[in-house]
Structures are given as structure tokens and as C-alpha cells.
Amino acid sequence: MSTALVPIADPVEALPPAQADDDTQMVRLWLARSASPNTRRNYEREARQFMAHVGKPLGSVRMGELQEYIAARPGSSATVALTAAALKSLFAFAQEVGFLRFNIGAAVKVPPIKNTLAERIMAEADALLMIRQEPGLRNRVLLTVLYGGGLRISEVCGLRWRDLAARDSAGQTTVFGKGGKTRAVLLSAATWKVLMALRDNQAAKSTNWSVEAPVFLSRKGGALDPSAVHRVVKAAAARAGLPGEVSAHWLRHAHASHSLDRGAPIHLVQATLGHASVATTGRYLHARPSESSAKFLGV
């Protein structure tokens, strides 16, 4: 009695069904995974530049071509690391959904990034000077919330009055943050006071004001966009005599560093800023150490 042999399927052929028909569709699916508009924008730029450079379908790209492209990428260590991270993510996703057989990005290393955080932390007096010298109410409150609340620029742009609630003599705001996470940020009495002044000013100027209105209105009546916030911050920095590199994120860095300097517990700063890990918040302690063995030497 003979036993018929059942052919065993080649495991290499056991791929999930492809979810995309071409590179363009696959990139669109890949970008749609991210909840962050900033990440989608940066990753799309990196993918488009790479695809234009190689000039052929992703399935035909070889590992050496990917490695050479990243190694030759001009710019800072952070720029090169972004390129590597984006392309590794792209090829990993393409294999995951069955569009590519192999993930050629698996062996590619993301280069280390120089930590320049200490270069982007301003003195407390400079942050306060930016706020106090701002002549316009809206912009002064904007700078106050960026610094006093430690909010990201996207979080500030998305604020609406319904997100704010009074708490005793101060208040709090509910923030829809990075990665689609929501957190509550308790604000100081001084920050709450200027926010209420802005609210009263808006309500007095509008016949149909409602709690659904953006906290920071543009001239056209909608919410301020990130580019407008950047212009406000740059103008405030110039007015205060600060370097042109100062950005909205510098004020968030300043919030973290200055609150830690004043004795705020690191886990509280982590929760306020919405950091996923306390290690991220800890970078501010390393960027501005309070002690050093160098101080014990005679030079």
C-alpha cells in the first residue's frame, strides 16, 4: 500500500495577500497609519525623495542602494536619522501588508543623533521677556500658554474654549496631543487670568461667539495654523533680542527645564508635557545638570 506524498508549501510563498496594487497606493496606506500630521508630512517627503532618486519600483530596490542613499544624505545627524527611520518604516510596512517579499530596511541602522537639547533651552528671564514685550493680547496669551502650559504647537492650534474649565482660582485645559492621546493640563492662576481676558475680548467682539470657537483666532476667524504661530514666536524672540533659531518648541523646552529647576517632580513634568516615558523628560536634567565633578577641581 503506497502513501501519496502531500507536497509541502514553500514557506517563502506563504505571503499575506497584497493590500496595494502599486507603489503610490502602498505609500498612501503606509502614511495613513500615523495619527500625527507632522509625521505624515515628513515621512511622505522622505519617501517621495527616495523614490525619485532610485527611479524604479520599490520591489526592485536593493539593500545596497538603500544603504548608499542614507549614507550620502546631506544634512544634520537628525535629518539623516529621520530619513533612515522613515525608509525603514516604509519597507517594513510594505512587507507586512504583503506588497514586498523582503524587508530590505531591516538591516539598516538608524544613525545616532547628537543631543543638542541644551542649545535650545533659553533662560527663564528671556522666556518671560518674550511674553511681557508682546503688545497684542492674543499673541501675548498664545506665548503664555506655549510656555506656561508646555503645549506643543499643534495642541495650541487645536484648542477650543470648550476644552477649558475653571478650577478654583485657576483652571485646566484638555489637550488632544501626540499619538492621539488626551491629557488634562492644570494651568496657573496667572495663565488662567489672561486666558479669561482673551475669552471676554473675543466674546465682546462677536455676536455669535460660542464655546466651540478656537481659543486662538486667525484674522479670518478660524484657528491659527502652525505657520502663523511660528511667525508670532519669531517676532517675539526678535523683539526680545533672542537668536533667530528660537521657535515655539523652545518655549516647551523652557517649561520643562525651568519647572525642573524650580523643584517640580519629574513625573509631574512628564504628565504635564505628555511624554510617553519619564526617560524623555529626564533629558532636560541631563541637558542642564545642577552639579558636576568639574566644580571640585582647581581650574
d(CA 206, CA 221): 10
Q: Which of 152, 253, 255, 258 is catalytic?
A: 152
Say how many Å lie between the first and final Cα of the chain, rounded. Answer: 93
State the Cα–Cα distance between residues 133 and 1, nearest whole angstrom. Answer: 96
Reply yes or no on whether 284 is catalytic.
yes
CA pair distance 219, 136, nearest whole angstrom: 13
What 8-state DSSP symbol labels residue 14? -
What are the start-end ranges of the H helices in the chain?
23-32, 37-54, 63-71, 77-96, 124-132, 137-148, 153-157, 189-205, 226-239, 248-261, 266-273, 278-287
Q: Angle CA(110)–CA(115)–CA(118) in degrees, nearest 5?
A: 165
For residue 175, the surrounding DSSP H or E stretch is strand 170-176
* Alpha carbon 24 to its chain's center: 25
Is 40 in the active site?
no
Annotated catalytic residue 249: yes
Neighbours of 183 (CB within 10 A): 15
User: 253 catalytic, yes or no?
Assistant: no
The residue from 73, 178, 253, 258 that is catalytic is 178
Whether 140 is catalytic = no
CA distances in angstroms from 241 to 106, 131, 234, 245, 282, listed in the order given = 47, 13, 11, 12, 29
Annotated catalytic residue, options 160, 249, 283, 288: 249
Catalytic residue status for 205: no
User: Of these residues, 73, 88, 252, 253, which one is catalytic?
Assistant: 252
Rounded-to-integer distance, Cα 219 and Cα 210, Å: 17
Active centre residues (catalytic): 152, 178, 249, 252, 275, 284
